[in-house]
Amino acid sequence: MNEEQRAVDAIRVLSMDAIQKANSGHPGMPMGMADIAFVIWSKFLNVDPADPTWRDRDRFVVSNGHGSMLLYSLLHLSGFAISMDDLEHFRQWGYVTAGHPEHNPQLGIEMTTGPLGQGFSTAVGMAMAEEHLRAVHGADLTDHRTFVLCGDGDLMEGVSAEAASLAGHLGLSRMVVFYDDNSITIDGSTDLAFTEDVPARFASYGWQTLTVDGHDRAAIEEATLIALADTERPTLISCKTHIGFGAPTKVDTSSVHGSPLGPDEIAAAKATMGWDLDPFVIPDSVYEVFMEAMSRGRVMHAGWTTRVEEARTADLDRVSAWEAVWEPSDVSLDAPQAEPGSKVATRKLSEAVIQQVAAQRRDIVGGSADLVPSNNTYIKGSHDFSRADRTGRNVRYGIREHAMGAAVNGLTLHGGARAFGATFLTFADYMRPAVRLAALMGTPSIFVWTHDSVFLGEDGPTHQPIEHLASLRIIPGLHVHRPADPAETAAAWQQSINRTDGPSAIILTRQGLPVPGNEPTMAKIERGGYVRVDGTDIVLVATGSEVPLASDAANLLAEQGISARVVSVPCVEVFNNQPDDYRAVVLGVNLPVFTIEAGSTAMWSAVARNGGLAIGIDHFGASAPADVLAVHYGFTPEAIAATVIETLSQS
């Protein structure tokens, strides 16, 4: 047996053995895609195990992340910091070999995958980042590819359709996707639910499409060369494979997708391969094959290092600008100018702040889902990122919220760019899988959502968020900012853009809010919650558009002899992380606490206490002008004051 075949079989054997020992996992995909993966890693992929995060490495994403043992086997055999002990403890507590790959670039894992379609779609953002950085800073500094493995499940999910359409429109030719076309899903044959012509669909998106035998390594190599030669289109290589390839009785069956093969089947598969070694024993010759393959990446890495130094000598300013975008910056923003007493929507205030951010962070890339005039997120002085011009900092995502969320993650994960994407808050539901994944990975993506309440008005309940704020706040690690005025809007952006350990959401109004005469200091706002107006009898806690409402209600209550403290909480998560003594000072001790937010009271019921009440809207809205809705739903100063007085009298 030649050493190349032995190396491919090693991927299959490690996958079979690790899954069997864990008594849990998905052997079918690693066995079926081993030939494809070997060709990519041995012939094309430029990575360096000695420096896994070097900036110009190729990106390799396993979108069908249930086949994680394929990736772990490749990384181990290639010299990355995944040990044989890690493989032997696949899916076990305290080991890096989780059931689905979890973002860890130091190990060679570019992103967390598993939710099907997300890896494919996030990789589109990575490819966008590479194109942008290469155009802005030069091909001598940035010049790599994005390789993706995916399966039927990825391509059935709608998010990948949106992302593929965007990639084709943009002509992301440096992205190559290998589709594991094995005709099997968990339920059985793909014919049960999936009979479309996938290459034809991708061709209609503007992709180059190729079809090969997924076990013919020479054909895979030839197709990859064709893909890399196309400078106009991304490429989908449909690889006709057999799921569980090498398993004598379970190959091409749905049972091999997500269950261990069993000792007898593994023994028979190894006998067919001529593999007579004990579990988790790999010949030195196999490691040598992979080490030789990695030498290509090491050479590319060394050449890149030389180019960077040559560029530094020739044009220090260019290299300095390129290097600067790779490190977090301490952005300091000012509240946008607005006339006290006037009314300005926070989406308009955000537009002004974005220009400050763009001036200080040359790496910021923004975009909107066909709502630029409504979201007010366009970076002025720049232009569109397009097929014709990759230097633009504004992405036209079209009506593709699912793909936008994933692409924002990909742009940010890639490095060298910080990205935000914008749409209406009610459509955050379309983006939720990507937002959750950003939180899970600790990726500092920024999601901008405008039109944040029933006060959107006449568009009606389909576009009026009710439960969305509550549902976003329960995502671990996501910071949800809902500012009320110019200073809070600037603080929301400042905290979001300076954050490095997780994603942020900036929630903005459609309607104008009164600009206060004396705005709070940034230091106060950055604690997530603070006393806006002092009072001694009760506490009114509010966010966003309800902060001025609470202040007006407090004035009415004062006329009734009730001293109301107004507390603004622009970011609940940051406030909850403050020391107990600070929160006690803000919320008071044994004071009745009322909360006011034009949405679900689900989370506020635990905050309202000591005879207070959570005042919100726990039903869908209606199509009517905002001021009419305010009257009907009790969100006027008079109604709030009356509710407080009635509640206090009852308690």
**Distance (Å) of CA 287 to CA 54, 55, 62, 246, 520:** 22, 25, 22, 21, 62
CA distance 508 to 349: 9
Residue pair 572/554 in contact (Cβ under 8 Å)? The answer is no
| Six token digits for residue 192 | 């049960």
- Close Cβ partners of 11 (under 8 Å, ≥ 6 residues apart): 30, 34, 37, 38, 70, 73, 74, 77
CA distance 377 to 402: 18
CA distance 523 to 502: 21
Please give the full DSSP string across 462-492, using - where no structure is assigned: TTS-SSHHHHHHTSTT-EEE---SHHHHHHH
Name which of 459, 462, 481, 448 is nearest 376 in CA terms: 448
Residue pair 498/330 in contact (Cβ under 8 Å)? The answer is yes
CA distance 297 to 146: 14
Residue pair 136/61 in contact (Cβ under 8 Å)? The answer is no
CA distance 561 to 548: 20
**Cα three-residue angle 326-329-331, rounded to 5 degrees:** 145
CA distance 483 to 546: 10
| Six token digits for residue 261 | 């093969």
- Active-site residues, by number, are 401
Instruction: Look at strands 343-345 and 512-514 and give their pairing.
Output: antiparallel
3-class secondary structure, 589: coil
CA distance 574 to 481: 9
Count Cα atoms within 13 angstroms, Cβ side, for 38: 26
Residue pair 55/415 in contact (Cβ under 8 Å)? The answer is yes
Count of Cβ atoms closer than 10 Å to residue 456 Cβ: 24
Instruction: Look at strands 530-533 and 512-514 and give their pairing.
Output: unpaired
CA distance 553 to 559: 10
